Structure 1
Amino acid sequence: MSVIKVAILGFGTVGEGVYRTIQSHEEELASVLGKKVEVAAVLIRNKEKDRNINEDVLVTTDFKEILCLPQLDVVVEAIVGKEPPLTFLKKAIERGCHIITANKEMFAHHGKELLKLAQENKVSVGFEATVAGGIPVIQTLGQLLKINRVQQVQGILNGTSNFILTEMREKKQSFAQALLQAQKNGFAEADPTNDVEGFDAFYKTMILSRIAFGEEPNWQDVEREGITSVTRDLIDAAEKLGLRFKHVASINREGGQITGSVQPVLVGKEHPFYHVEGVENAVNVHSDIVGRITLQGPGAGMFPTASAIIEDLVYVCQNHYHDRSFKQMAAVPIEQKKGQISETWLVHGLTKTKINPLITWLDQASVDTFIIRAEKKDVVELANQQEDLVYFPFLGEYQSAIKLKPKALSAL
């Protein structure tokens, strides 16, 4: 039986997961591909660290040694940061190797460049693992886009943030306590900035935008907010109203305009994200024919991400070469909305002296925490007037869990 030779760049959580999965699923891979899959080399950073890697595998700190192997078919990259991963993958493509990456930051910045180079060299690029862990959202969007016109993609794309919000609500922990638990469990890095400030979800959102629409919004125009502003008190107040905080990335297309946001939002029990807990991820896709579909699954950890990479391994080997570049989609004809649109918000820190007559009061969770309906510009104006005021949008149609009496509403 002929052999497919694979090199793994990086042997952290993801890289080791890929190595172990290739070993444990050797027969399944051979059955599907008609060839045996072997790990020929592993690129590491520290040669002194003990690793359980077979003796016949080249273990090196020098990528040039990997490029010099007599046979090399696929390079799997599982390192963090934009460089040197970008350089490694470009050299692998130029040698004629298919590439697979789990590096969302690098791919968000340089995905177009890698896809163009791969097209020129007649090799394939697998990048399923850059978004939503083990959920096959990229392949699903690829299938939808054959006929369906995607109008909106929303997702819980960062398992670390979702875990922290879940711990804060279920175990009544502070943000700091929940973050520490995430780090102890291996869900958060020593420096959690990329996760809790929304950068990780932002990079994934830009990749999804390219898949769904063939292009992305101007990065500077995308509102990016992490979860550090969400306190235990806010979570408790929301829970009284039957609501939960989720960190949601959203990308929308209306006519020829693409808009995006990455921010904490509130969802009710009717929303598909309400029960997405812990390190789970979920993606909701709205298109013109099928309507709304939701994909949900593990978004972090060794084997969920390894699963996405292994599926990409099968994909690139079976297709040999397939143009997977981002396609420009035809604009969906949508009637343009005139003026501003009223939305539902949870607002905390509001005082009675700053009431705007354009606001509709819906519910009250505490002395200074309310659910209101208003145009965003009016909420922003309130926040500008009151330094301590924070506000969060609500997804979907709000249904009150607490029925306020007319007198109580009028007293607001």
Structure 2
Amino acid sequence: MADIHVALLGFGTVGKGVYETINAHQARLKALLGKNVKVAGILVRNVEKHHLDDDVLLTSNFEDILNLPKLDVVIEAIVGREPGYSYLKKSIERGCHIITANKEMFAYHGNELLEYASRHQVACGFEATVAGGIPAIQTLRTLLNVNKIERIEGIVNGTSNYILTKMREDGVTFQEALQGAQELGYAEADPTNDIEGHDAFYKAMVLSQIAFGEQPEWKTVNRKGISAISHSQIRLFSEWGLRVKHVISLEKGTRGLACSVKPVLVSPSHPLYSVEGVQNAVSIEADIVGNITLQGPGAGKFPTASAIVEDLIQLNTKQVCYFEREQNVRFKKEPYHNWILLSKQTNVFIPDSIEVTGRVPERALFLKAKEKDIERLLVAYPALNIYQLYGQVSPGFLENLSLKESRFKRKAAVPKGV
């Protein structure tokens, strides 16, 4: 009985988690696959820093990995677009199945890799590129085939979610919460990718390709991070029973495929309201099943290793293959959303296309509008703080808010650009 020979590209937190998981679960893997799984080689930057079993090739040269006499699967856990993309293409040419946890690389090159793998009759697994141990990708690809996906919302970056939770629960500033996240290992020394929404953006692009068979034009995506959110805003929203969450949103409408990656306000009625700390969640709206929400650990050594090893099982059953999803998505009319506007400006003119539904004196306006009208308002007043409100508020929530004393003026004619 031949073994399944695996190579790991990268031996950081994720790579070590995969190595330890494979070694610790040999009996289970053999029961599922009918074969033993053997880590035959590992690509590292510095060979001297690592000490493993003598029968595992430890090398800093990728060509040594390709030249292994037996190699069935290559697992890539390297940061950045390169050299991971080039390594995986060469692995496919060698005839190997591939598995990746690299969300940035896969957002850029996923479609190319899947087409290349199909051409060479090998499979590609990428569950670990989105939300760590949560099986969001397998759910979309293999469990919701008859359903048509209408909308996806998700908290897919544990660092940002931890910071926002810490600011609300402990009353600390953004910088204090970030420092705490770095001390616990949740945030990198340079946290830009997490706190400015780049990491979540890449994951949104992967989900978009799976759910809708395409990605939006990247330059049209409203990507905003959390670094500008103040403790005073967090405290104010908490008083109203609302929580700030950094959320990705994907939906197909009359304006095409729309995507946003931004802080929003979430009410208790929304499934993302209770997702706290470093947890991730993906909420899927489909035409038959309705709403389902998957929640769990979105990153870390063993949650990510779990996703990779589960992909290894799927490779053997030929479940991991194409990216494409045939969708006859019904184009919906652009919906009206609820928004909360915070501003100390006194000369903001709200156009007639935006309905003012309530107010908190000297603090906020509650609005109902299409996203395009909010975008136009922000063109005219870029300093405004406007948050979309997810979920429903209680019937009496807005009844106590009066428009009579509003310091915001209204008129039909609005400034240029609104």
When the two structures are superposed, what TM-score results if normalisation uses the length of structure 1? 0.92
1:367 Cα deviation (Å)? 3.3
Q: Distance in 1 between matches of 2:394 and 2:346?
A: 24
Residue of 370, 388, 394 corresponding to 1:399: 394
Q: Does the CA contact (< 8 Å) of 2:244 and 2:265 recur in 1? A: yes
* Aligned mate of 1:347, from 341, 353, 378: 341
Partner Cα distance (1:31, 1:195) in 2? 39
| Alpha-carbon distance in 2 for matches of 1:257, 1:144 | 25
Look up the equivalent residue of 2:385 and give its one-letter code: V
Distance 1:215 1:146, change over 3 A: same
Residues 9 and 77 in structure 2, CA contact (< 8 A), matched pair in contact too: yes
Give the 3-state SS of the residue equivalent to 1:344 in structure 2: strand
CA distance in structure 1 between the partners assigned to 2:398 and 2:382 by the alignment: 30
**Residue in structure 2 matched with residue 195 of structure 1 by the alignment:** 194
* Counterpart amino acid of residue 369 in structure 1: A
Distance 1:229 1:32, change over 3 A: same
**Is the counterpart of residue 360 in structure 1 residue 368 in structure 2?**
no
For residues 144-196 of structure 1, give each alpha carbon's deviation from its aligned partner in whole angstroms, at most 9, with x where no partner exists.
44211111111111111111111111111111111111111111111111111
Q: What secondary structure sits across from 2:48 in the alignment?
A: coil
Please show how residues 135-146 of structure 1 align to structure 2 within 5 Å: 135-146=134-145
Matches within 5 A, 1:5-154: 5-49=5-49, 51-154=50-153
| Structure-2 change in CA distance of 1:323 and 1:28 (3 Å) | closer
> Which amino acid counterpart does residue 36 of structure 1 have in structure 2?
N
Deviation at 1:410, TM superposition (A): 1.9
The answer on whether the counterparts of 2:157 and 2:200 sit within 8 Å (CA) in structure 1 is: yes
Q: 1:67 to 1:231 in 2, by over 3 A?
A: same
**Match of 1:252, SS?**
strand
* 8 Å Cα contact 1:150-1:285 kept in structure 2: yes
Q: 1:17 to 1:401 in 2, by over 3 A?
A: farther
Is 2:140–2:210's contact at 8 Å kept on the other side of the alignment?
Answer: yes
Moved more, 240-249 or 374-383: 374-383
CA distance in 2, matches of 1:168, 1:350: 23
Q: Which consecutive unaligned segments of at least 5 residues does structure 2 have?
A: 407-418
Find the counterpart in structure 2 of residue 166 from structure 1: 165
Separation in structure 2 between the aligned mates of residue 332 and residue 381 of structure 1, nearest angstrom:
27
How has the CA–CA distance of structure 1 residues 357 and 45 changed in structure 2, closer, same or farther, with 3 Å as cutoff?
Answer: closer
Question: For the Cα contact (< 8 Å) 1:152–1:253, is it kept in 2?
Answer: yes
Partner of 1:299: 298
Q: TM-score, normalised by structure 2?
A: 0.91
Q: Does 1:331 align with 2:325?
A: no
- The residue identity in structure 1 corresponding to 2:356 is T
Separation in structure 1 between the aligned mates of residue 117 and residue 375 of structure 2, nearest angstrom = 45
**Paired residues for 1:305-320 under 5 Å:** 305-319=304-318
1:373 equivalent to 2:368? Answer yes
SS of residue matched to 2:92: helix
Alpha-carbon distance in 2 for matches of 1:192, 1:75:
29
Structure 1 pair 78/401, CA: closer, same or farther in 2 (3 Å)? farther
CA drift at 1:363: 4.2
Contact 1:363 1:402 in 2 (8 A): no
Structure 1 unpaired stretches of 5+: none
Amino acid at match of 2:367: I
Distance in 2 (alpha carbons) for counterparts of 1:336 and 1:385: 25
Q: 1:204 to 1:21 in 2, by over 3 A?
A: same
Structure 2 CA distance, aligned partners of 1:150 and 1:377?
Answer: 23
SS of residue matched to 1:217? coil
CA distance in 1, matches of 2:357, 2:346: 12
Aligned to 1:262: 261
Is it true that 1:4 corresponds to 2:4 in the alignment?
yes
- Whether the aligned pair in 1 keeps the contact of 2:42 and 2:56 (CA below 8 Å) is yes
Q: Distance in 1 between matches of 2:136 and 2:371?
A: 31
Matches within 5 A, 1:225-240: 225-240=224-239
1:24 offset after TM fit, Å? 1.1
Pair 225,122 (structure 1): closer, same or farther in 2 beyond 3 Å: same
Residues of 1 paired with 2:252 and 2:143: CA distance? Answer: 16
Alignment-mate amino acid for residue 10 of structure 1? G
Q: Is the 8 A contact 1:256 1:332 kept in 2?
A: no
C-alpha spacing 1:122/1:153, structure 2 compared with 1 (3 Å): same
Taking only aligned residues, the RMSD between alpha carbons, in angstroms, comes to 2.1
Matched residues, number: 404
1:166-185 matched pairs, under 5 angstroms: 166-185=165-184
Q: What is the distance in 2 between the residues matched to 1:61 and 1:219?
A: 34
Deviation per residue, 1:383-407 (Å, 9 max, x gap) = 455554211111122337756646x
Q: For 1:284 and 1:309, how far apart are their aligned partners in 2? A: 22
Cα deviation, residue 300, structure 1? 1.3
Deviations 1:299-356 (A, max 9, x none): 011111010000001111232xx6722225232234545xxx5422122224444353
Partner Cα distance (2:113, 2:378) in 1:
43
